Chain A
């Protein structure tokens, strides 16, 4: 299929991009790698009147360590994340996105701004307690992962704002596990679980669990975290805690996965991801 007609501009500065976006009104959309937006446009499920391409805006690429955390430019493609093992769970999750060609074009900022609960990075950002920086006509602000995802493909980013960078804590000393379940390796996650564990000896000091595709937004498995925080980590305690992974979730059913099956998968994957994070597997 072919996208409907639109106008196009590729501003050379962030300010110009913000202005173009504002001038374009509600039918203007930002274009990063285009790997979430263009497929929708080709199927005519989206038809923006104006695309504001960020490719010429400087400063939106790269991965840097800054103030004890990681700063990732919004236009950094998934491939670069995948090949940055220092990013831990981010690198691992990025390496599972679709296929190599998609990872070469799809960007971290584009993926997060798209806010698809079935995408890999939103729940990872949530588990990592990361944030995004956005800039709009009113200036710059940070949005924490917990506040970013509002509803199905709806984020707290204003239509006039540009996501410029992603910040994730260093997570030094944390163990991580990422378990993604899909039918084919190029598919979206049927369910995925991201687990981060900080332990002293066998005691779980801190634990965070993110759930992908278990609702209209990425979720944290609060009950699992609660059950493990401050407790000894063992195969048994993890298995017991993981039983609560689907608590409070009501994932939408589709052809390949019923609600019950997704909830079951969340429990199994949670146990496996936590096992990895705790170094038990």
Chain B
């Protein structure tokens, strides 16, 4: 679809809106260049490490080289003796009130949650566990001083295999629980037993979804400044607003005196959705020393102690009739969550369960989740958080089922698609999808790629030893976190809500500031949100300054993750702008002696319907509002409104992806030849931003499928500890992508939008995996798990040949 068509449709949908979004669009739907970019392309962005304060000290952490050990002794004397070292702290020095937070308390479910201190207490549980904090004058010297801290460890047995960790003879990581099992949790609906009894075929697969990293290119960093009873923390975080109350609680500083600023943040992908030890530790040290304290993560450090994601062993069982009709679906998730539990650690695997029906009419579905601890760094949300795992197991298994039924994988999908719906579809587990048209997305996809043609190419290439395959994925996901009543303490168990805030301040000149409670790290909020607000106030997006990531600037917010920004934060912005527009209409009506209902926004003016020459610009309205000699009786002066929006439901973006790969059967190397993505996130606010999100999302998913892997050896040593071994794809490994959209409005919000930040990642890993299996099928390979490294592919081919691979 061209941008023009997209914007036409978006315009039509926006025009249907009522008070929350009263304006006809002319900026929404346009591929506007980003407002963020001029500073970023000239090197003028301000990331944490670009900020330095007078008197600033530097922090470095002494980290455990052992995966599991008792701390016998810590000798800090040599480090302290250095001239430039101001302090060296160990656990006993810290008077922090509580351990780091974990925010999921599901009603009726026991979650074995160990204390997780800023500095290890008595024992270390993973490589990189911090045992001492060094603070000194010089950026470089603190590294030297950290090396001078001598720690004696008494190694304890290590467990890194989640299945072994559940066995009775396994070393136990936190003895107080007498087990490594953290929790068991299930979600199901429909009659599973009857569904399997009814099935003609049952396919079962063990699908490994390996551990990966967020790997934002900007490492984490913190600058904490406690002075005059106030704490200011600059952090490379996705969640300045959520971080603030925890800093307040852990340090015992009243919340109003804590300010958290997320300046320019160089990517997050979930890895900066966290309350990290380093943030708390630097803030504590700043207060203790009365000086600003800065810490910038090194990449090798980040690979160890910035949270990982995925790491599930999934056992999937699906039953179907001979004609392909799915009758039952049972997934067992064993999640290796690492040695501690961080902000959402044990909750992420459960998120898979909410979309385990995928886009299919599955009548009975059950998901059982077991979380287990091992001597690794904790997992938590990484781009997609639970939904990539769900979609991977669903969509890979769908192809396995098609294989078993000897059926075309797309025919199987079509057979089971939920028919188009626009006002909700309830799945057997009680989740209500907002809107969907899965057939439409798949049909659109097939306008771009012809599977028959690819198969013909494959036949020709095979003569040269190249095995070409095509793979598909049709997906939906759940985002737009979140309706507070569903996710909150008495619902799913998150200790908080899911609303978002926005405030629109029209200054006396007519200039506009939007404060959003979301906190971007690359998504382009400043542009997209400006488009939304501008259209509602009859101004140009350039006139809307979008302020974010500063807890002192606007109302409290809930930040950016889970593809929630537009569907929740954008809606809040639209509502706040709508309130301003409503007040403006009243002022205009009063001044022009018209009925407010007759005031319309037309070509940048609030004018009287039918008399377009009678009207006022926003700037004139602002003048009237702040010099209020002629506003309606009883109206308060000013033009400054805010909104706290709590959505009624999640939103459920969907789409269809296809990938073509070439496999060199001799070496096992995979080349991604084409990647086509059709995504539906409702009407586009800015189609350029959507494409960008999809492109990046795809590479994150392709990266997991083919290149990226966090790997610990049996001793708990991190083998992939830098960008040398943790193989992010480069431009040279990736093709250009073909993207398109369908636009199915969501009934949930007035913008009719859904999130798109994670969609590409959610769809990509099964798409690629299915393509590789398709390519290898002529060689006898019918299933393979990620990561699809050349060696693993080669080994699979050898095994299929009946040969012995090492």
Contacts and interface: CB of A to CB of B under 8 A. Distances in A.
Interface of A: 1-2, 4-5, 43-44, 181, 183-187, 190, 255-261, 264-265, 268
B443 interface: no
A57 to B, nearest CB: 28
Q: What is the interface of chain B mostly: helix, strand, loop, or mixed?
A: loop
Nearest to A255: B719
Contacts of B666: 268
B75 to A, nearest CB: 19
B488 to A, nearest CB: 43
A256 B791 contact: yes
Given A5-B144, A258-B806, A185 B730 contact: yes
Nearest to B805: A260
Contacts of A184: 707, 727, 729-730, 732-733
A44 B719 CA distance: 17
A4 B144 contact: yes
Nearest to B298: A1
A255 B707 CA distance: 12
A183 B702 CA distance: 13
Given A4-B144, A183-B707, A268-B666, A257 B791 contact: yes
Interface residues of B, number: 30
26 contacts: A1-B143, A1-B298, A4-B144, A4-B147, A5-B144, A43-B300, A183-B669, A183-B707, A184-B707, A184-B729, A184-B732, A184-B733, A185-B733, A186-B730, A187-B724, A187-B727, A255-B719, A255-B725, A256-B789, A256-B790, A258-B806, A260-B806, A261-B795, A261-B805, A268-B666, A268-B667
A264 B794 contact: yes
Nearest to B707: A183
Contacts, number: 57
Contacts of B729: 184
A261 B733 contact: no
Contact of B789 (A183, A186, A260): A183
Nearest to A4: B144
Contacts of B719: 255
Nearest to A5: B144
B177 interface: no
A255 B720 CA distance: 9
Interface centre among A5, A255, A268 (most CB of B within 10 A): A255
B140 interface: yes
Given A255-B725, A260-B805, A261-B791, A181 B667 contact: yes
B711 interface: yes
A183 B727 contact: yes
Interface string B766-806: 00000000000000000000000111001100000000011
A2 B140 contact: yes
B597 to A, nearest CB: 62
B711 A255 contact: yes
A261 B707 contact: no
Contact of A261 (B143, B725, B727, B806): B806
A160 B210 CA distance: 48
Interface in B562-610: none
B667 A265 contact: yes
Nearest to B60: A2
The list of the 7 closest CB pairs from A to B, nearest first, reads A260-B806, A185-B732, A258-B806, A261-B791, A2-B140, A268-B666, A2-B143
A259 B789 contact: no
Interface centre among B143, B707, B791 (most CB of A within 10 A): B791
A217 to B, nearest CB: 21
Nearest to B732: A185
A264 B732 CA distance: 25
A261 B139 CA distance: 44
A43 B730 CA distance: 23
A186 B732 contact: yes
Interface string B711-724: 10000000110101
Contacts of B795: 261
B702 to A, nearest CB: 12
Contacts of A4: 144, 147
Given A184-B707, A185-B730, A186-B732, A258 B144 contact: no
A255 B789 CA distance: 10
Contacts of A2: 139-140, 143
A11 to B, nearest CB: 25
B147 A44 contact: yes
Interface in B657-685: 666-667, 669
A268 B465 CA distance: 12
B806 A1 contact: no
Contacts of B733: 184-185
Contact of A1 (B300, B724, B794, B805): B300
B358 to A, nearest CB: 31
A181 B52 CA distance: 44
Interface centre among A5, A258, A261, A265 (most CB of B within 10 A): A261
Contacts of A257: 791
Contacts of A264: 794
Nearest to A99: B730
A82 B666 CA distance: 28
B804 to A, nearest CB: 9
B123 to A, nearest CB: 26
Interface in B213-238: none
A258 B668 CA distance: 13
Nearest to A267: B666
B696 to A, nearest CB: 18
A32 to B, nearest CB: 21
A78 to B, nearest CB: 17
Contacts of A261: 791, 794-795, 805-806
